[in-house]
Amino acid sequence: MTASISLYIAGDSGLHRLHPLTKLTLTLTILLGGFAIPYTWASYAIFLGIVLPIAIWGGIWKQMLRSVWKIVLPFAISIFLIQSLFWGEGTALFAFGPLSIEKEGVIFAMGSVGRIIVVISSFLLLTLATRPDSLMNALTKIGVPAGITYIVVTTIQIVPRFQAKAASIIDAQRSRGLITEGNLLKRTRALVPLVMPLVLSSLVDVEERAIAIEARAFNSPGSKTSLNVIPDTSTQRIARWIMFLLIVLIIGYRIWWSLTFTN
Amino acid sequence: MSFTESIKKEFSTRTLVLIPVAIAINIVVGQLLIILKLPIYLDSIGTVLVGALAGPWAGALTGALTNIIWGLTLYPQAMPFFYVAAVIGAMAGIAAKLGVFERISPRWLSALIGGFFFFGLTLFILSVTTYSREGLIPNATDLIRQYGVVFIIIAIIGLAIGYFVLQKAGYAGLAGLITGVVAAIISAPTAAVVYGGVTGAGTDLVVAAFRASGTGILASTFAQGAVSDPFDKMVSFLIVWLILQALPARFKSR
């Protein structure tokens, strides 16, 4: 693969060597656990007790913590400010002037931040340690249409080319006197002269590419072989089934909990 | 033609080649908007374009995959909203079947569309948030009497947007505005449950304002979306309308 956009960090840890489907199932199980277990502390426990140890094992914990911090911090600030100050009626923890911090709002904010951490970190567990093309390759093997794989892998490769094209369009239009800075109205006026050339020039070669891939038997119905064979073990297959079972159990538990405690 | 056949026909090789280009357009234009520092996202132009050129199913696939690929590569927080993007693509496809991207509307009609839409949207947002505060569906005439000045100002802004921004793309603009409201409605539950109703961006001020007035979390999240999404989708549909006017007929015929 040439230049491509991806969070993937090359490595040779046990996590990297796991079959992509195993990592995908793991991510889904963690995600569901974080949402279904109805206690505020659960998502923090899952992050510290499950996600972080796996990330350390995979040698991706530094990047993970950095990304989680960068993504979650603005959310966390917003949630705490909005939900603790503007909760409405609640038990005030302490008040200053007309503002008061409500206990219920703080608990809600804690729960929300925990869930965001679980969502982001479990996705990162998958994407930091898995090459997107091998994930798609594995998905094709279990029945995802080859067209979807083509779309995902191609997109990841053409985005950098498009970014370069966008940069040169900005330069070209600026050199012709287009104003891309200044007040809101001026910047809005710059929108169409930048977007239209990008879109129109991108559409031009669609036709040729369609002919090119059809000439390479894209639509041939027979089964195809793959250059990269992804190793899978029976232990991992069993682990995946166990995680599926776990997912069913978690959902069952959540339904039981809702029926028992909400009425 | 049977149902499955009609879906298959949408996914020709040309469509499959078009979709990655469209997703790349979504991602790169989204980044361009950050460079221009404009307060809209415009990250669904490619999705709307595929919906308009290939049909609702292809549009839906483009939308869903945009968010999934985004989630896999640059922006993990986009992943949970893949279904919203899919609905946007599907609605663009249906709108295209109704001919909104071919029709040219007179400017006075675009102005009326803008005026009426923003009037109706304000009524809808105020009804939902009032219902959330008081538990009663409010009477429309009471609301209009109570917030009369607000309604007049917003209707005039709507008229101006229709006349000066949409110009001759009134039908496409209306389809975009409606798509935006639907997107706001269906994304609010996910935004409220997964992200506590905030995005970490400037639009959170809207959420804060509604929460301060005692509105519930779900209704505040919806109100935030309903303030920003329709305008965003309207501009996206408008740009796709401009693109389709500029594309050669040969490209559109397939």
The pLDDT tens digits of the residues spanning A54-63 come to: 999 998 999 9
- Tell me if A172 sits within 8 A of A162, measured CB to CB: no
Domain boundary residue, one of A156, A179, A204 = A204
Domain that residue A91 falls in: 14-138+244-261
What pLDDT score does B85 carry? Answer: 96
The string of pLDDT tens digits covering residues B24-75 is 999 999 888 878 877 788 889 999 999 999 999 999 999 999 999 888 777 7
Residues of A in contact with B197 (CB under 8 A): 79, 82-83, 112
Pick from A9, A100, A159 the residue to mutate for testing the B interface (most B CBs within 10 Å).
A159
Specify if A189 maps to a domain. yes
Specify if A126 maps to a domain. yes
Quick one: closest CA in A to B204, which residue?
A78
Same domain, A197 and A252: no
Same domain, A31 and A76: yes
* Cα B230 to Cα A51: distance, rounded to the nearest angstrom: 38
What pLDDT score does B2 carry? Answer: 72
Mean pLDDT across chain A: 86
| Mean pLDDT (whole number) for A166-179 | 91
B233: pLDDT strictly greater than 80: yes
Residue B67: closest CA among A126, A155, A20, A73: A155
As its CATH architecture, domain B3-104+169-252 has Orthogonal Bundle (1.10)
Give the pLDDT band of residue A90 (cuts 50, 70, 90).
Answer: low
Same domain, A24 and A110: yes
Most confident of A34-38, A222-226, B26-30, B76-80: B26-30
- Answer yes or no: do B73 and A127 touch at CB < 8 A: yes
What pLDDT score does A97 carry? Answer: 66
Question: B80 — contact with chain A (CB < 8 Å)?
Answer: yes
- Answer yes or no: do B13 and A214 touch at CB < 8 A: yes
A230: pLDDT strictly greater than 70: yes
What pLDDT score does A27 carry? Answer: 93
Pick from B32, B53, B132 the residue to mutate for testing the A interface (most A CBs within 10 Å).
B32
Same domain, A34 and A160: no
Mean pLDDT across chain B: 88
- Tell me if B166 sits within 8 A of B173, measured CB to CB: yes
| Mean pLDDT (whole number) for A127-135 | 88
For residue A93, give the 3-state DSSP assignment.
strand
Residue B221: closest CA among B231, B213, B232, B210: B210
B17: pLDDT strictly greater than 80: yes
Give the global pTM: 0.87
Specify if A94 maps to a domain. yes
Task: Output DSSP code: residue A48.
Answer: I
B150: pLDDT strictly greater than 70: yes
Residue burial B99-133, b: 16+ Cβ < 10 Å; e: rest = ebbeeebeeebbbbbbbebbbebbbbbbebbbebb
Question: A147 — contact with chain B (CB < 8 Å)?
Answer: yes
* Cα A173 to Cα A37: distance, rounded to the nearest angstrom: 54
What pLDDT score does A258 carry? Answer: 84
Question: B16 — contact with chain A (CB < 8 Å)?
Answer: yes
Among the partner-chain residues B27, B74, B196, the one whose CB lies closest to the CB of A79 is B196
Quick one: closest CA in A to B69, which residue?
A152
- Answer yes or no: do B211 and A162 touch at CB < 8 A: no
| Mean pLDDT (whole number) for B121-130 | 88
| Nearest-10 Cα torsion for B47, B53, B54, B59 | 20
A96: pLDDT strictly greater than 80: no
Interface of A with B in 213-232 (CB under 8 A): 213-214, 218-219
- Answer yes or no: do A75 and B194 touch at CB < 8 A: no
Same domain, A133 and A104: yes
Q: Cα separations (Å) of A231 from A17, A19, A36, A134, A234?
A: 8, 7, 32, 11, 10
Interface of A with B in 51-110 (CB under 8 A): 67, 71, 73-75, 77-79, 81-83, 85-88, 108-109
Among the partner-chain residues B194, B200, B242, the one whose CB lies closest to the CB of A196 is B242
Question: B29 — contact with chain A (CB < 8 Å)?
Answer: yes
Same domain, A173 and A80: no
* Cα B244 to Cα B48: distance, rounded to the nearest angstrom: 11
Same domain, A52 and A126: yes
Same domain, A116 and A173: no
| Nearest-10 Cα torsion for B224, B225, B229, B231 | -30
Interface of A with B in 113-142 (CB under 8 A): 113, 115-116, 119-120, 123-124, 127, 132, 135
- Answer yes or no: do A112 and B196 touch at CB < 8 A: yes
Give the pLDDT band of residue B183 (cuts 50, 70, 90).
Answer: very high
What pLDDT score does B253 carry? Answer: 64
What pLDDT score does B33 carry? Answer: 84
Structural domain boundaries of chain B?
3-104+169-252
What pLDDT score does B14 carry? Answer: 87
A20: pLDDT strictly greater than 80: yes
What pLDDT score does B47 carry? Answer: 97
Same domain, A105 and A175: no
Minimal CA separation from B155 to chain A, in Å: 21
What pLDDT score does B58 carry? Answer: 95
B76: pLDDT strictly greater than 70: yes
| Mean pLDDT (whole number) for A124-140 | 88
Name which of A115-119, B71-75, B87-91 the model is least confident about. B71-75
Same domain, A163 and A107: no
Minimal CA separation from B143 to chain A, in Å: 23
Please indicate whether residue B178 or residue B141 has the higher confidence score (pLDDT): B178
Minimal CA separation from A119 to chain B, in Å: 8
A224: pLDDT strictly greater than 80: no
Domain count, chain A: 2
Please indicate whether residue A48 or residue B217 has the higher confidence score (pLDDT): A48
Angle (nearest 5°) at CA B179 between B177 and B182: 115
What pLDDT score does A1 carry? Answer: 40
Name which of A80-84, A124-128, A222-226, B180-184 the model is least confident about. A222-226
Give the pLDDT band of residue A248 (cuts 50, 70, 90).
Answer: very high
Same domain, A37 and A160: no
- Tell me if B107 sits within 8 A of B167, measured CB to CB: yes
Pick from A195, A208, A211 the residue to mutate for testing the B interface (most B CBs within 10 Å).
A195
Residues of A in contact with B79 (CB under 8 A): 119, 123
- Tell me if A136 sits within 8 A of A149, measured CB to CB: yes
Residues of B in contact with A148 (CB under 8 A): 61, 65
The string of pLDDT tens digits covering residues B98-125 is 999 988 999 999 999 999 999 889 888 8
Please indicate whether residue B249 or residue A196 has the higher confidence score (pLDDT): A196
A143: pLDDT strictly greater than 50: yes
| Mean pLDDT (whole number) for A153-161 | 88
pLDDT above 70 covers a percentage of chain A that reads 95
Give the pLDDT band of residue A176 (cuts 50, 70, 90).
Answer: very high
| Mean pLDDT (whole number) for A142-168 | 89
Give the pLDDT band of residue B165 (cuts 50, 70, 90).
Answer: confident
A239: pLDDT strictly greater than 80: yes
Same domain, A105 and A189: no
A262: pLDDT strictly greater than 80: no
| Mean pLDDT (whole number) for A94-115 | 80
| Mean pLDDT (whole number) for B183-208 | 84
What pLDDT score does A245 carry? Answer: 95
Domain boundary residue, one of A155, A172, A204 = A204
